[in-house]
Chain A
Amino acid sequence: MFRPPPRASGYLHTNYGEDLSLFRTRTERVSLAIFLVIVASFPFLASPFALDLACQVFLASIGALSLMLLTGYAGQISLGHAGLIAAGAFTTGILAREIAAPFWITLPASALTGIVLGFVFGLPSLRLRGLYLAVSTLALHFVVIYLGGEYETKRGFSTGIVIDPPSLAGFKLGGRGWYFVLFVAAVASLLICINLLRSRSGRAWGAIRVRETVAEALGINVARYKLLAFVISSSMTSVAGCLFAYYRGFVSVEAFDLFLSIQYVAMIIIGGIGSLLGALLGAMFVTVFPYLIEALLRLLPNAQKLAGDIFAVNYAAFGVVMILFLAFEPLGLVGIWRRLQNYFLLWPFRYKPLAGARK
């Protein structure tokens, strides 16, 4: 788990407002402004393909952040994340299809489904830990997918549910509109996570992750905070599923197979367990990775011959990357990033600072 790296110099905060603000120094505020300018100008410069990729990254970030909250901070392993995304997407699809519900009904409804399912997914965690919890969430994933498939077959949408794009007073979202909506959604989930983690619940989750018995002895209601972690995480995930359904305009069980769950777990592993920045980096990496592999394959001689195998190459390469990260860089991309940061912080010296930085 990471602590933030040591600051180069001490900043004296003289009131609570300053102490609580997320951007405390001038450098941070300036880089935030630069970042916002880049984000705002990106859709006007980038190709539609890059825009779609960015939207996918934002969607994946929401899911990865919520899984990070659950697994990285509260220490509850979940292999059923795709089931929760599917639940949100299907709630949206079913409501939109059956009663033509507008998005301001389907979005809260998806969140509600997430809350209920989070409670159900969380119940085994009261009794089971580690491996057994992982397989119970895995099983629930299959149950959710089965229910979705059942609905599709029984209602005759065997190929999937088509959803009309959301509209408000005749205004419809285009590519750029989606980009900003999803960006705002991702930032909102990031803020929710940051604030949850630096408040009472975040500290409780940390204690539960490290040692449940001690957490209990400290007066933390372990059962309550475990369920809370599941509920919050899964409602965020379901909202991501709802946005996913609208963004794609199409819901089908095939999109939510076990591989998707694994991809989300891979995001937090590759990004770096126990860091929100890691969740974002991981989401970006895992989303962009297949396109990267495809582009690399194009560079190879006789690329035409390989075109049919891109899917398989992607699969194999994803497996290799995951193994490499698990075996050689358990701290993930964030670990690499912190090392780089330390290198430049300390330059021209090589030794590590005494406190704060790791490894």
Chain B
Amino acid sequence: MSWSRLGRLTLRAPSTTSRFQLARTIRLQLAVNILVLGSIYALIACGYVLIYRVSRVLNLAHGELMMLGAYLVLATASLFNGHPGIALAAAILLSLLTGAIVYIFLMRKMTGEMVLAAILTTVALGILVRGIVILIWSAQQQYPAQALDVSNPSLVLFGGARISMWSAVLVATTIAVYGALFIFLRFGRWGMRMRAAGQNPLLAAQRGINLHGVYALAWSLSTLTGALAGILMALDSGLTSSMPVIGLKAFPAALVGGLDSFAGALVGGLIVAGAEVLLIYYVDPLLSDVVPFLALIAMLIVRPWGVFGTREDLDRV
């Protein structure tokens, strides 16, 4: 899988560099890799957090919705041929719409059902989305960057570490998304409604807050952030139907940080990414798929509600 190469090092250091410099470059490169992978996890994890915080539902279809967003770029790219900006904007808008549709036509029915039913509905949705995506776009690897006709140059940072352009964009996007979410939830009218609905749905509804509207908004925003992550990853390293795996690997990041905390998702992403990159480099590349879940188990043993999460009744969901 192409994204797992993030953990490995592709260093072509000139032979004249001294050993000390090489070691320093490797350390820098590891730091950059952690930053990139951490941003990916954080950007995906904020989707889990949004939905969980507002409606106490765990969305296990997040990885698939993220992949759908990336595939939508392929569709819009052929539609708006030669206008990569418009194509990207259209794909992002479409994924916003997808989230709302998912809530209105599916998840609205599941409010008030037992935990297992709600989780399984999202799982089933994920399977459905995956099937549809393979049916439409086939299971082969696709390159949205080619379809959009954009390049992906490798940038050399200080000290010889490298980062691809789209990875840099991804890091910037993550920062922008978190900043925007912070401002929106703190000061925005709908953001305040979302926080209220998350804190106490009954009281919120009695104060005239449209709960279905708020939940639908949470689902669309979550799908939007997921799609952003999916699109940027696909632009960076291609797109296959196995992308949801990374969506699932980002879930431990959300839980390690605390399922209802955005700051937690950011920190959790960096913690999980750090553990993953370092263990892959120093121990065993095969660990790639399991490290996030080891982190999750460790966190559940020590502090089930996460680093920044509120300590709640764990079966309240």
Contacts and interface: CB of A to CB of B under 8 A. Distances in A.
Given A142-B290, A150-B286, A313 B121 contact: no
Residue of B120, B139, B252, B317 with most partner-chain A CB within 10 A:
B120
A327 B110 contact: yes
Tell me what chain B mostly uses at the interface: helix, strand, loop, or mixed: helix
A131 B297 contact: no
A322 B120 contact: yes
Nearest to A131: B317
Size bracket, chain B contacts: 35 or more
Given A77-B115, A129-B314, A140 B286 contact: no
Given A143-B294, A146-B286, A313-B135, A128 B304 contact: yes
A319 B135 contact: no
B246 interface: no
Contacts of B304: 127-128, 132
A330 B116 CA distance: 11
A130 B317 contact: yes
Residue of B123, B134, B135 with most partner-chain A CB within 10 A:
B123
Contacts of A138: 293
Residue of B126, B130, B300 with most partner-chain A CB within 10 A:
B300
B296 A129 contact: no
A201 B243 CA distance: 43
A309 B132 CA distance: 10
Contacts of B314: 127-130, 132
B297 A140 contact: yes
B135 A132 contact: no
A309 B315 CA distance: 41
Nearest to B255: A135
B135 A309 contact: yes
A233 interface: no
Nearest to A322: B124
Given A140-B297, A330-B117, 14 more contacts: A71-B116, A129-B314, A130-B115, A130-B315, A142-B289, A142-B293, A145-B290, A146-B287, A150-B286, A153-B286, A265-B120, A315-B127, A326-B120, A330-B113
25 contacts: A77-B116, A77-B119, A128-B314, A132-B304, A132-B314, A134-B116, A135-B58, A135-B255, A135-B300, A139-B294, A139-B296, A142-B293, A146-B290, A149-B286, A258-B248, A262-B127, A265-B116, A309-B135, A315-B131, A317-B131, A322-B124, A323-B106, A323-B128, A326-B117, A327-B110
